[in-house]
C-alpha cells in the first residue's frame, strides 16, 4: 500500500486557515487585495519578501498561509482564489497598526477593503468610547457569542484611514481561541460582503442587455406563432440570439456564481456571531439584510434571467423544428396521396379497358381450344361438331372472363 499523492495536501487543507489565540486588549488592521492579473506565486513571493524586510520570520515552509509574530506585533497572510488578506496585529493596547507605505506601493493587486478592529476588556466608559469612535453616524451592534462580548460599528469608511472600524468589548473574559474566532469572523464579514458586491455593477450593466434580448426573442416568437417568416429565417435569428446570450452568460456566470458563494459566507459568519439584539440598535444581521439583500436579489435575478432566456430560446428553437418536421410530414403525406391518386387513376383506366381485355383473352382462348380440338380429333364430323359447339360457347367464355376480371379489379377505383 502506498500513500495517495494528494494525502498531505488534503490534510493540510483542513488546517490551512487556523484561528489565532487572541486576548484583549489588542488592535488589528485587515486589508483585502484582489489578485487582478497577478499570479499567486508572484503575490506569495512579494508578501514574504516584504515581511522579511519588516523583521518578521516567515520560515522556509510551503507557500501560502502564514502567521508570524515579533514582540507585540504580528502578521497574518491568507491567500484565496480571487484575493488575499493581510492582517496586522498590535497586542497590549488599542493603537491600530499602520500598513507601511512601502508595502502599499509594492503589494501586488488592487486594494478592495480594510477593517480596523479594536478589542478591549470591559470598561465603564463604553458608551463614550463608542461615541468618540463613530461621531454622528448611525451605529449598529449587538451582544455576540451568547453575550460574552458586545460589538459596535457604523459600517462607514473613515475619512482619515479609508477603513471601516469595529469596536469589540470582552464582557466575560473569553478564552483565547474563542476571542480569535470572534475577531476573525468580524474581519471575514467585512471582506466577504465587499467581494459579494463586486458583481453588482456587472449585474446593473447586464440587466438592460438582457431586457433587450428578451424583447427580441418575444418578437421572434410572435412571428413564429403567426407564421410570418420562413422557418429557416426564424431559426437563423434564434441562433444569433442564442450566441449573444451565451456570450453574456460566459461574461457574467463566474462573477454571479462567486457572488452567491460570498453572500452565503456572509450569512454564515453573521449566524456564527450568535447576536443578541440590544434595544435601540440595529444588529449586524439586520443591517446586512436591509443594505445587502437588494443587491443580492439583483445579482441573483440577473443570473436567473439569463438562464431563463437561454431556456426560452431553446424552447423556441424546438418549436420551429417541430413546425419544420410537421411541414415535412405534411409534404410527405401530400406526396403519398398524389402517388395513390395516380395509381388509382391507372387502375381505373385499366378497369375501363377491361372489355378490350376480355375480347382479346376470349379470342386467344377460343383459338387455343379450337387448335387443340383439331389436333386431338381425327374424325372430321366430330371436328365440325366440336367447332360448332365451341363457337356457341364463345359468349359463355366471354362472360366467365369478364366475371374473373371484374373480381380482380373490385374496389381498386374506390378511395379508402
In this predicted structure, which of 52-66, 152-166, 247-261, 300-314 has the lowest mean pLDDT? 52-66
- The pLDDT of 209-221, averaged and rounded, is 91
In a domain, 241, yes or no: yes
Question: What's the N-to-C CA distance of the chain in angstroms?
Answer: 77
DSSP notation for 124-184: TTHHHHHHHHHTTSPPEEEEETTTTEEEEE-----TTTSSEEEEEEESS---HHHHHHHHH
Please indicate, yes or no, whether residues 359 and 270 belong to a single structural domain of this protein: no
- Banded pLDDT at 12 (limits 50, 70, 90): low
Q: Which residues contact 4 (CB under 8 A, 6 or more apart)?
A: none
Residue with cell 515552509: 61
Instruction: From 273, 298, 331, give the residue that closes a domain.
Output: 331
pLDDT of 144 strictly over 90: yes
Instruction: From 176, 208, 236, give the residue that closes a domain.
Output: 176
pLDDT of 290 strictly over 70: yes
In a domain, 30, yes or no: yes
Please indicate, yes or no, whether residues 203 and 243 belong to a single structural domain of this protein: yes
Please indicate, yes or no, whether residues 169 and 266 belong to a single structural domain of this protein: no
Say what the pLDDT of residue 130 is.
93
In a domain, 42, yes or no: yes
Domain of residue 313, residue span: 199-331
Please indicate, yes or no, whether residues 211 and 140 belong to a single structural domain of this protein: no
Q: Which residue has the higher pLDDT, 269 or 379?
A: 269
Among candidate residues 76, 80, 34, 86, the one with its CA nearest the CA of residue 194: 34
| Helix, coil or strand: residue 227 | coil
In a domain, 4, yes or no: no
Query: Which of the residue ranges 17-26, 153-162, 262-271 has the most confident prediction, judged by mean pLDDT?
Result: 262-271
Please indicate, yes or no, whether residues 373 and 310 belong to a single structural domain of this protein: no
Q: Provide the grid cell at 126.
A: 463604553
Beta pairing partners, 151: 142, 168
**DSSP-derived pairing of the beta strands 26-34 and 83-91:** antiparallel
Q: Provide the 8-state DSSP code for 282.
A: B
The string of pLDDT tens digits covering residues 30-85 is: 999 999 989 999 999 999 999 999 999 987 767 888 999 999 999 999 999 999 99
Please indicate, yes or no, whether residues 167 and 30 belong to a single structural domain of this protein: yes
Instruction: From 279, 296, 331, give the residue that closes a domain.
Output: 331
In a domain, 188, yes or no: no
Q: Which residue has the higher pLDDT, 317 or 385?
A: 317
Say what the pLDDT of residue 15 is.
61
Q: Are 124 and 171 in contact (CB under 8 A)?
A: no
- Banded pLDDT at 201 (limits 50, 70, 90): very high
Say what the pLDDT of residue 228 is.
65
- Banded pLDDT at 199 (limits 50, 70, 90): very high
Please indicate, yes or no, whether residues 382 and 292 belong to a single structural domain of this protein: no
Please indicate, yes or no, whether residues 145 and 35 belong to a single structural domain of this protein: yes
d(CA 78, CA 20): 12
Residue with cell 430560446: 313
- Banded pLDDT at 306 (limits 50, 70, 90): very high
pLDDT of 221 strictly over 80: yes
In a domain, 181, yes or no: no
Please indicate, yes or no, whether residues 239 and 164 belong to a single structural domain of this protein: no
Q: Give CA separation, 73 vs 17, 45, 161, 175, 191, in Å.
A: 19, 21, 20, 20, 22
In a domain, 21, yes or no: yes
- The pLDDT of 305-330, averaged and rounded, is 83
Please indicate, yes or no, whether residues 84 and 165 belong to a single structural domain of this protein: yes
Please indicate, yes or no, whether residues 170 and 220 belong to a single structural domain of this protein: no
Q: Provide the grid cell at 343.
A: 395509381
Q: How many domains does the chain divide into? A: 3
Please indicate, yes or no, whether residues 236 and 149 belong to a single structural domain of this protein: no
Determine which helix (DSSP H) or strand (DSSP E) holds 29, and give its type and residue range.
strand 26-34
Residue with cell 371484374: 406
Q: What angle do CA 46, 50, 56 make, to 5 degrees?
A: 130
**Residue spans of beta strands (DSSP E) within 210-276:** none
Q: Are 90 and 73 in contact (CB under 8 A)?
A: yes
Say what the pLDDT of residue 391 is.
74
In a domain, 191, yes or no: no
d(CA 44, CA 22): 25
Q: Which residues contact 394 (CB under 8 A, 6 or more apart)?
A: 362, 366
Q: Provide the 8-state DSSP code for 58.
A: -
User: Mean pLDDT of all residues in the chain?
Assistant: 86
Q: Provide the grid cell at 339.
A: 402517388
Amino acid at each position: 500500500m502506498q500513500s495517495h499523492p494528494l494525502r498531505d495536501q488534503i490534510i493540510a487543507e483542513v488546517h490551512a486557515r487556523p484561528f489565532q489565540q487572541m486576548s484583549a486588549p489588542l488592535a488589528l488592521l485587515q486589508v483585502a487585495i484582489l489578485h487582478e492579473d497577478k499570479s499567486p506565486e508572484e503575490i506569495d513571493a512579494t508578501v514574504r519578501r516584504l515581511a522579511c524586510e519588516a523583521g518578521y520570520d516567515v520560515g522556509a515552509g510551503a507557500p501560502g498561509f502564514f502567521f508570524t509574530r515579533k514582540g507585540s506585533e504580528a502578521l497574518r497572510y491568507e491567500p484565496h482564489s480571487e484575493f488575499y488578506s493581510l492582517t496586522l496585529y498590535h497586542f497590549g493596547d488599542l493603537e491600530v497598526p499602520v500598513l507601511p507605505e512601502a508595502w502599499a506601493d509594492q503589494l501586488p493587486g488592487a486594494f478592495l477593503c480594510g477593517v480596523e478592529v479594536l478589542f478591549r476588556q470591559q470598561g465603564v466608559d463604553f458608551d463614550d468610547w463608542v461615541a468618540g469612535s463613530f461621531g454622528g453616524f448611525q451605529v449598529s451592534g449587538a451582544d455576540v457569542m451568547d453575550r460574552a462580548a458586545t460589538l459596535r460599528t457604523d459600517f462607514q469608511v473613515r475619512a482619515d484611514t479609508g477603513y471601516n472600524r469595529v469596536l469589540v468589548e470582552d464582557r466575560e473574559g473569553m478564552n483565547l481561541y474563542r476571542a480569535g474566532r470572534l475577531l476573525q469572523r468580524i474581519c471575514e464579514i467585512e471582506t466577504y460582503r465587499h467581494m459579494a458586491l463586486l458583481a453588482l455593477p456587472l449585474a446593473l450593466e447586464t440587466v438592460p442587455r438582457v431586457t433587450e434580448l428578451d424583447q427580441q426573442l418575444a418578437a421572434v416568437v410572435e412571428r413564429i406563432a403567426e407564421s410570418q417568416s420562413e422557418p429557416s429565417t426564424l431559426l437563423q435569428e434564434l441562433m444569433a440570439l442564442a450566441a449573444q446570450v451565451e456570450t453574456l452568460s460566459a461574461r457574467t456566470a463566474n462573477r454571479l456564481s462567486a457572488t452567491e458563494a460570498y453572500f452565503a459566507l456572509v450569512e454564515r459568519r453573521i449566524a456564527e456571531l450568535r447576536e443578541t439584539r440590544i434595544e435601540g440598535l440595529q444588529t449586524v444581521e439586520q443591517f446586512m439584510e436591509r443594505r445587502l439583500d437588494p443587491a443580492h436579489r439583483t445579482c441573483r435575478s440577473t443570473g436567473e434571467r439569463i438562464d431563463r432566456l437561454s431556456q426560452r430560446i431553446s424552447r423556441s428553437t424546438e418549436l420551429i423544428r417541430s413546425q419544420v418536421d410537421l411541414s415535412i410530414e405534411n409534404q410527405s403525406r401530400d406526396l403519398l396521396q398524389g402517388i395513390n391518386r395516380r395509381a388509382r387513376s391507372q387502375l381505373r383506366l385499366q378497369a375501363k379497358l377491361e372489355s378490350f381485355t376480355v375480347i382479346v383473352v376470349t379470342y386467344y382462348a377460343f383459338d387455343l381450344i379450337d387448335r387443340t380440338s383439331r389436333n386431338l380429333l381425327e374424325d372430321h364430323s366430330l371436328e365440325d361438331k366440336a367447332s360448332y359447339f365451341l363457337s356457341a360457347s364463345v359468349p359463355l367464355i366471354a362472360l366467365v372472363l369478364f366475371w374473373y376480371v371484374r373480381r380482380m379489379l373490385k374496389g381498386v377505383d374506390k378511395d379508402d
